[in-house]
């Protein structure tokens, strides 16, 4: 069973009298443990696709199955549950709570699934250690560098052991050196068995993945495997 | 339970914005302080009046001509009533089998009282029988009350209130000294314990009591101003005792069977009931007007919550992206409002009692927070939090995560 299966996925926004088709029938599947990049220029519909995959939104038409469960007809609370347990987000703008410490930011998903305070603390510390930030647990985002902030976000995404790590332009706000480090971290996470979907408009970044899905005008334009030799980064 | 960490989140959000939370809290505190000041002052006053009436004792009733007059028509009717005559008291004590004691009390209104050239005014001079002190809760602090013999032999002895002692005999032992009332000399035999007044005045302690017969000798029998203090044998037979007295008086005064009593029987209960009924609208009005400030406090909370929700749109988006349900967001924001209104209510209630105490708390009015006022006040503070917090909280809970995440 594939982790992600979409069948003829449509998303239509109604703007006054106009119907804007952001997605026009996307069909694809992603297996557990894959490292996939979704690539496309802005306005191609890749963000919409990411929102659907991330269960932030539901499709207008078509079917989306995550872990065999159909997401399309779920209500708000069920979607929240899926986001909490199955998906870890990493955003371009980090999206950390500015007034909370790194530790509290990482604990956040655990608060919403009723994990006890002591376990929250322990799991969040473990996640921060994995991204090598155990030294800076009590720093607020404003006291951390861009790369460190993004690593806090990665720790937060991983703390619940989700089925899927969903990264939306994770290097968009980072300089090239920090971007390289961040991509190394993703490679490492993939090696450890995490399923990663990377949404980007940069081919350079996309080539860290093992498979690249190109989106154009709301449709899947290509689905290519990246041969080992073509891959960026150290991972094999 | 997941609610506990959500309350923690609410608390952190309030703490992160100390000045704003503090000012909002102040708005709520001011509202509750003003209501609680008024409620506790009123409660204290009513309580003092109640305590006062309780001195009468639950089994005692007073028979008099006047009763409680509340209208001009009633006044015109009451004025025409016959005064009591000398035999009335004897008829009651002989005829009423369920009555234990019947004491007489009559007075002049207020009078001048002198000691060695010092003259004080506004002193109530009354003539009472010896058993008056057994019925009314009046305590002797020095000396004694006048006796049955003093009454029979019409002795010139006086029992004075504490304010009279203070004003005429400062630093002296008044027992055995004389006091002049309307030029007649009396010897002081006792001083009453200080009673204190509802509004801190000493009018309740400004009295001189002399034996009933002595009073009658000098002022004549004043049927207009007679009060018969009747003590029933027990609480159970109190109503029957009152009925007995009523029958005796109606027969004595030849009241036709289809006419109402032409005299009044008062009990502590019906005096209190009367006081409550005449002050009810006034009290409700005061509380109602001051309640407006609590509503204003609620509006302040709502206003700040609305600002807070739109400022924290992105935060809400982040929380939703990591799996917060609508109910989680709702709970957090509702608790932010509730913590503010509840703590504001609590502080306001305490402050209100303190303010009331300093305003009205002139010595003797005991303003102690009643359980009802506290419970009610706190429930209202929670209610205000829910009423004014629910809309902003729902607004926050219903935000679309995608829009919230991209909110700048």
Banded model confidence at residue B204, pLDDT cuts 50, 70, 90: confident
Q: Is residue B71 part of a domain?
A: no
Banded model confidence at residue B269, pLDDT cuts 50, 70, 90: confident
Q: What is the CA radius of gyration of chain A?
A: 18
Neighbours of B8 (CB within 10 A): 14
CA distances from B172 to B123, B208, B329 (A): 20, 17, 75
Q: Is residue B386 part of a domain?
A: yes
Mean pLDDT of A70-95: 92
Q: Which residues of B touch A80 (CB under 8 A)?
A: 320, 323-326, 328
**Residue B361 pLDDT greater than 60, yes or no:** no
Banded model confidence at residue B363, pLDDT cuts 50, 70, 90: very low
pLDDT in tens, A22-36: 999 999 999 999 999
Q: How many Cβ pairs within 8 Å bridge chains A and B?
A: 66
Looking at the structure, tell me whether residues B104 and B195 fall in a common domain.
Answer: yes
Mean pLDDT, all residues of chain B: 88
Cα–Cα distance measured from residue B191 to residue B116, given in angstroms and rounded to the nearest whole number: 19
Q: Is residue B82 part of a domain?
A: no
CB contact under 8 A, A95 and B314: yes
Mean pLDDT of A183-193: 92
pLDDT in tens, B229-268: 999 998 889 999 999 999 999 999 999 988 889 999 998 8
Q: Give the model's pLDDT for residue A235.
A: 44
CA distances from B403 to A233, B125, B317, B327, B367 (A): 34, 84, 8, 19, 55
Looking at the structure, tell me whether residues B11 and B119 fall in a common domain.
Answer: no
Q: Is residue B324 part of a domain?
A: yes
CB contact under 8 A, A57 and B402: yes
Q: Is residue B8 part of a domain?
A: yes
Looking at the structure, tell me whether residues B322 and B199 fall in a common domain.
Answer: no
What was the ipTM of the complex prediction?
A: 0.93
Looking at the structure, tell me whether residues B225 and B169 fall in a common domain.
Answer: yes
Q: How many domains does chain B have?
A: 2
Q: Is residue B365 part of a domain?
A: yes
Mention every residue, 6+ apart, whose C-beta is less than 8 A from residue B235. B58, B59
pLDDT in tens, A39-49: 999 889 998 99
Mean pLDDT of B387-398: 95
Neighbours of B107 (CB within 10 A): 19
Domain boundary residue among B192, B216, B231?
B231
CB contact under 8 A, A80 and B323: yes
Which member of A99, A111, A156 has the closest CB to residue B5? A111
CB contact under 8 A, A81 and B325: yes
Looking at the structure, tell me whether residues B47 and B122 fall in a common domain.
Answer: no
pLDDT in tens, A132-158: 999 999 999 999 999 999 999 999 999
Structural domain of residue B314, as residue ranges? 3-52+287-405
Q: Give the model's pLDDT for residue B369.
A: 66
Looking at the structure, tell me whether residues B214 and B314 fall in a common domain.
Answer: no
Looking at the structure, tell me whether residues B17 and B137 fall in a common domain.
Answer: no
CB contact under 8 A, B325 and A77: yes
**Residue B47 pLDDT greater than 80, yes or no:** no
Q: Give the model's pLDDT for residue A59.
A: 92
Q: Is residue B264 part of a domain?
A: no
**Residue B199 pLDDT greater than 70, yes or no:** no
Cα–Cα distance measured from residue B183 to residue B164, given in angstroms and rounded to the nearest whole number: 17
Q: Give the model's pLDDT for residue B200.
A: 58
Q: What are chain A's domains? A: 33-58+80-230 (3.40.50.300)
- Write the burial class of residue A67 (CB in 10 Å: 0-12 exposed, 13-18 middle, 19+ buried): middle
Q: Best residue in B316, B323, B330, B399 to probe A by mutation, most A CBs within 10 Å?
A: B323
Q: Best residue in A97, A105, A141, A154 to probe B by mutation, most B CBs within 10 Å?
A: A97
pLDDT in tens, A191-219: 999 999 999 999 989 999 999 999 999 99
Residue B121's φ and ψ, nearest 5 degrees, are -110, 180
Q: Is residue B247 part of a domain?
A: no
Looking at the structure, tell me whether residues B45 and B123 fall in a common domain.
Answer: no
Q: Which residues of B touch A54 (CB under 8 A)?
A: 321
Looking at the structure, tell me whether residues B222 and B105 fall in a common domain.
Answer: yes
Domain boundary residue among B231, B253, B273?
B231
Kindly report the nearest CA distance between residue A115 and chain B, in angstroms: 8
Looking at the structure, tell me whether residues B226 and B117 fall in a common domain.
Answer: yes
pLDDT top residue among B396 and A234:
B396
Q: Which residues of A touch B327 (CB under 8 A)?
A: 77
- Looking at chain B, which residue has its C-alpha nearest residue A107? B322
Q: CB–CB of B32/B294 below 8 Å?
A: yes
CA-based diameter of chain A, in Å?
A: 54
Domain boundary residue among B199, B215, B231?
B231
Looking at the structure, tell me whether residues B293 and B398 fall in a common domain.
Answer: yes
Cα–Cα distance measured from residue B145 to residue A12, given in angstroms and rounded to the nearest whole number: 99
Looking at the structure, tell me whether residues B9 and B131 fall in a common domain.
Answer: no
């Amino acid at each position: 069973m594939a982790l992600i299966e979409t069948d003829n996925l449509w998303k239509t926004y109604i703007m006054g009298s106009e119907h804007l088709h952001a997605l026009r029938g996307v069909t694809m599947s992603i297996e557990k443990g894959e490292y996939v990049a979704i690539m496309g220029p802005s306005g191609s519909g890749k963000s919409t696709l990411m929102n659907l995959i991330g269960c932030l939104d539901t499709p207008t038409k078509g079917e989306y199955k995550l872990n065999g469960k159909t997401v399309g007809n779920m209500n708000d609370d069920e979607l929240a549950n899926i986001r909490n347990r199955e998906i870890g987000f990493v955003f371009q703008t980090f999206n950390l709570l500015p007034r909370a410490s790194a530790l509290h930011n990482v604990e956040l998903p655990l608060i919403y699934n009723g994990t006890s305070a002591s376990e929250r603390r322990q799991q969040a510390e473990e996640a921060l250690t994995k991204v090598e930030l155990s030294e800076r647990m009590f720093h607020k985002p404003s006291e951390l560098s861009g790369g460190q902030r993004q690593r806090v976000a990665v720790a937060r995404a991983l703390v619940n052991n989700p089925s899927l790590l969903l990264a939306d332009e994770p290097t968009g706000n980072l300089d090239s050196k920090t971007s390289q480090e961040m991509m190394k971290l993703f490679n490492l996470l993939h090696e450890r068995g995490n399923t990663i979907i990377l949404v980007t408009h940069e081919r350079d970044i996309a080539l860290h993945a093992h498979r690249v899905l190109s989106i154009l005008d709301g449709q899947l334009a290509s689905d290519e495997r990246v041969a080992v030799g073509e891959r960026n980064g150290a991972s094999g | 339970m997941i609610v506990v960490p959500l309350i923690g989140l609410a608390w952190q959000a309030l703490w992160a914005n100390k000045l704003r939370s503090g000012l909002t809290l102040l708005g709520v505190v001011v509202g509750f302080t003003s209501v609680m000041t008024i409620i506790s002052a009123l409660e204290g006053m009513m309580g003092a009046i109640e305590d006062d009436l309780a001195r009468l004792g639950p089994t005692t009733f007073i028979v008099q001509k006047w009763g409680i007059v509340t209208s001009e028509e009633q006044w015109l009717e009451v004025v025409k009533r016959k005064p009591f005559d000398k035999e009335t008291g004897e008829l009651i004590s002989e005829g009423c089998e369920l009555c234990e004691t019947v004491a007489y009390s009559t007075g002049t209104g207020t009078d001048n009282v002198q000691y060695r050239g010092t003259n004080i005014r506004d002193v109530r001079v009354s003539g009472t029988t010896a058993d008056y002190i057994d019925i009314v809760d009046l305590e002797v602090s020095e000396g004694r009350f006048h006796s049955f013999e003093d009454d029979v032999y019409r002795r010139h002895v006086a029992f004075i209130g504490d304010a009279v002692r203070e004003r005429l005999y400062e630093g002296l032992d008044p027992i055995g000294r004389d006091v002049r009332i309307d030029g007649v000399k009396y010897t002081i035999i006792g001083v009453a314990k200080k009673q204190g007044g509802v509004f801190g005045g000493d009018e309740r302690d400004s009295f001189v009591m002399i034996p009933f017969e002595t009073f009658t000798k000098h002022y004549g029998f004043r049927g207009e101003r007679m009060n018969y203090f009747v003590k029933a044998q027990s609480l159970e037979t109190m109503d029957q005792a009152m009925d007995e007295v009523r029958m005796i008086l109606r027969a004595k005064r030849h009241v036709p069977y289809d006419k109402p009593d032409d005299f009044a029987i008062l009990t502590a209960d019906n005096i209190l009931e009367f006081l409550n009924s005449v002050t009810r609208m006034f009290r409700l009005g005061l509380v109602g007007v001051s309640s407006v400030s609590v509503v204003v406090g609620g509006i302040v909370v709502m206003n700040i919550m609305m600002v807070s929700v739109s400022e924290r749109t992105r935060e809400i988006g982040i929380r939703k992206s990591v799996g917060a349900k609508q109910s989680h967001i709702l709970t957090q924001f509702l608790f932010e409002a509730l913590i503010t209104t509840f703590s504001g209510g609590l502080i306001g209630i305490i402050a209100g009692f303190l303010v009331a105490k300093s305003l009205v708390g002139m010595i003797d009015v005991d303003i102690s927070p009643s359980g009802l006022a506290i419970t009610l006040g706190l429930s209202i503070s929670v209610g205000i939090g829910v009423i004014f917090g629910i809309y902003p909280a729902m607004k926050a809970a219903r935000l679309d995560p995608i829009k919230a995440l991209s909110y700048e």
